[in-house]
Amino acid sequence: MHRISGRQDTTLKELHEVASRIEALSKEEHELIREVHPAVTKIKESVQDVAVAVSAEDSAGEPHGR
């Protein structure tokens, strides 16, 4: 088996540190997405409710302040 040089060893350590930071950030991002996901679903439902109400007004011929 061949030994790696000091320079290669340093590069390998730096790469490992970067990978660890990326993994930690990925976990944090996953947690944030988990927290936000229910709110996004509620917002979509609200938008759909508004769209239905606007469609009902348009079909009834009622003006809606445009």
**Chain segment 16-59, per-residue pLDDT in tens:** 999 999 999 999 999 988 888 877 778 888 888 888 888 887 77
Q: How confident is the model at residue 1 (pLDDT cuts 50, 70, 90)?
A: low
- Read off the tokens for 66: 């445009």
SS3 sequence of 18-62: HHHHHHHHHHHHHHHHHHHHHHHHHHHHHHHHHHHHHHHHHHHCC
Note the pTM of the prediction, 2 decimals: 0.51
Return the C-alpha torsion angle 18, 21, 23, 24, nearest 10.
180
**pLDDT at site 38:** 77
